[in-house]
Structure 1
Amino acid sequence: MPDRLWRFLTIGPAVILFLGLTVLPMINLAVLSFHDIDWAQGLSSWTFTGVKHYVELRSDALFGDSIRNTLIFAMMAVTIQMVIGFALAVLTSSVVHGRLFYRTVFLLPILVPGIIIGAIWKLMFSFDFGILNTIVAAIGMTPQDWLGDANYALASIIVVDIWHWTPFCFLLLLASLETLPQDVYEAAAIDGASNWQSLRLITIPLMLPAIAVTFVFRLILAFKVFDEVFLLTGGGPGSSTEVVSFTIYRRFFTEDQPGYGSAMSIATFAFIALLIIVVTAATQRKGARP
């Protein structure tokens, strides 16, 4: 049997199945975005609306707020997670004794279920008896309504996400760090390079591909944030913590607008895809720069 035919028979069905499971839902979502759906006596009635839903997106103030909040949330949370994750990876890799203990401790937050995270942090952010306001009052400052004040609500959600997902960045960056060739560091040490010089001139340049992949992957996940917002603020106060996933959830499940929600989903998908392409191109260009 020819190699090409054998390769197709062994890999082809899996590829076709994967493409089908990936493409078909997107096609269904796109078709749905051009229709209004009404329900009567348990039956659905589809009405073709063309690009009406996409036109309405331009004047949807809530959708605009959710895009802005999601961008702020994703860029701030992921950037801080990358910095802390990289620092923890560098520090942990240099530890000789107790390395397994430190790695286990740093990974604990990512193992906690979302519903428990919501309960823990809601209690910590509580205005009346939360530990944060207890500390704030103890040092002579004024307690704040962290989740009920529009000035602090989004920042509070960002803090929770940083605590939850920094271990993800730490784990990927640590795995990459431990695969770096040690002979380069030995040569640098012989030449008299300091630890800071080795980090800046060897570690970071060699890890740029892993840093870029981790950043992009985490950025994609950050744009899908839902649990923290749903459990802690419900998008409020006002629209200060309204994010794209939560707005789409509103349209689909609380306002019964699946057509409009589908258009919102397609627009969000296109926006995220464009953003990821731009970020990936920028990181590759930086990595290729001498």
Structure 2
Amino acid sequence: MTAHSDRKITVSDFVDRHFHWLALAPAVIFLLLLTVYPVVELIAMALSTITFERASEIWSFTPGENFQQLLDDDIFRIALKNTAVFALVSVLIEVFFGLGLAILVSSTGKSKGFIRTVLIIPILMPPVAIGSMWKLMYSLDFGVLNQAITAVGLPPVNWLGSTSLALLSVVIVDVWHWTPFVFLILFAAVEAVPSDVVEAARIDGASNRSIIFRIIIPLIWPTILVALFFRTILAFKVFDQIFLLTSGGPGTSTEVVSLHLYKVYFQQNDLGYGSMLSLAVIAATLAFIWVAHRAGRFVRAKDA
């Protein structure tokens, strides 16, 4: 009886001492199964050539072949450049408009709640609906944009079929879609700016321009960096809009990394090289996160 009680007390003490590890164990196991194992499998695929014969996979260990193909892939370099241009231009425009809308809506009265609700409608729409809607608007023959242009006597514009305009046209769609997301982040930050600081500046004779550039923006600068950070990562992974609007064309003028990955995996069925491309994208994303983290630490240290 005593031995049984001692054993129960020992087990109870063990659970009490290690409860935090036992509570985390399911989450850790779940994380390993859904994250670590796929990454290991991806690395193994990137170092192999995978072919299909008689409904079965045949793996050949060729560690240098896929990497050499990555170095020789001209389309990947074009896609990487297009992705960088797309992300840089669209995110900067979105932050600019999002900040302007946040400051403007914050200065309104009781209607700010209604205006905020209307402005977030684009981010609530499914990407397929957005792509279909804008493709109709960009139509060369009956799109509403070309109808407005021809109504004033100008020739119609081939928005999605011109190599010089296609990427810009996709950027416009992305700005329309994601500016409300940036607006929501920055609007919360602007609303959190102490009103007594702004009122004191007005009493001292500060203009609206001075209040914006010398008080509001410096106070919400960390939030602006967060918005830049998140939107850049999301913009770097863009796929649905370009797939629906241009499919990477005309030529390779709108080819982006995610679309190139899709074509390598599902159209060319090159799983080994597709995995190597995925590792390259992951490495580029991690490098950006590291640089953004260092830049954020520098800004915080400078403000301090």
Q: Shorter-chain TM-score: which interval?
A: over 0.9
Match of 2:280 in 1: 267
Residue 156 in structure 1 maps to residue 197 in structure 2: no
Structure 2 alignment gaps of length 5 or more = 1-12
Q: 1:206 aligns with which of 219, 230, 243?
A: 219
* Cα distance in 1, alignment partners of residues 285 and 163 from structure 2: 26
* Cα distance in 1, alignment partners of residues 51 and 183 from structure 2: 47
Residue 45 in structure 1 maps to residue 45 in structure 2: no
Q: Does structure 2 conserve the Cα–Cα contact (< 8 Å) formed by 1:169 and 1:214?
A: yes
* Cα distance in 1, alignment partners of residues 37 and 205 from structure 2: 58
Match of 1:217 in 2: 230
Shift of 1:13: 3.3
Match of 1:122 in 2: 135
- Deviating beyond 4 angstroms after TM superposition, the runs of 4 or more aligned structure 1 residues are 1-4
Match of 1:250 in 2: 263
Q: Which has the larger radius of gyration?
A: 2
SS of residue matched to 1:272: helix
* Cα distance in 1, alignment partners of residues 164 and 292 from structure 2: 29
Match of 1:170 in 2: 183
Match of 2:118 in 1: 105
Shift of 1:105: 1.2
Structural mapping, 1:1-290, within 5 Å: 5-289=18-302
Q: Does structure 2 conserve the Cα–Cα contact (< 8 Å) formed by 1:216 and 1:280?
A: no
* Cα distance in 2, alignment partners of residues 19 and 208 from structure 1: 36
Report the CA distance shift for 1:192/1:287 in structure 2 as closer, same or farther (over 3 A).
farther
Q: Which amino acid is 1:151 matched to?
A: S
Deviates more, 1:207-216 or 1:181-190: 181-190
* 1:240-278 deviation per Cα after TM superposition (whole angstroms, max 9, x unaligned): 000000000000000000110010010011112212322
Q: Which amino acid is 1:139 matched to?
A: V
Q: Which amino acid is 2:301 matched to?
A: A
Percent identity between the aligned chains?
45
* Cα distance in 2, alignment partners of residues 78 and 51 from structure 1: 36
TM-score, length-scaled by structure 1: 0.94
Q: Does structure 2 conserve the Cα–Cα contact (< 8 Å) formed by 1:212 and 1:280?
A: no
TM-score, length-scaled by structure 2: 0.90
SS of residue matched to 1:36: strand
Report the CA distance shift for 1:4/1:242 in structure 2 as closer, same or farther (over 3 A).
farther
Match of 2:7 in 1: none
How many residues are treated as equivalent by the alignment? Answer: 290
Q: Does structure 2 conserve the Cα–Cα contact (< 8 Å) formed by 1:205 and 1:287?
A: no
SS of residue matched to 1:270: helix
* Cα distance in 2, alignment partners of residues 180 and 125 from structure 1: 40
* 1:95-126 deviation per Cα after TM superposition (whole angstroms, max 9, x unaligned): 11322221111101111111111111111000
SS of residue matched to 2:72: coil
Q: Give the root-mean-square deviation of aligned CA atoms.
A: 1.8
* Cα distance in 1, alignment partners of residues 219 and 31 from structure 2: 33
Shift of 1:230: 0.8
Shift of 1:216: 0.6
SS of residue matched to 1:51: helix
Q: Which amino acid is 2:242 matched to?
A: V
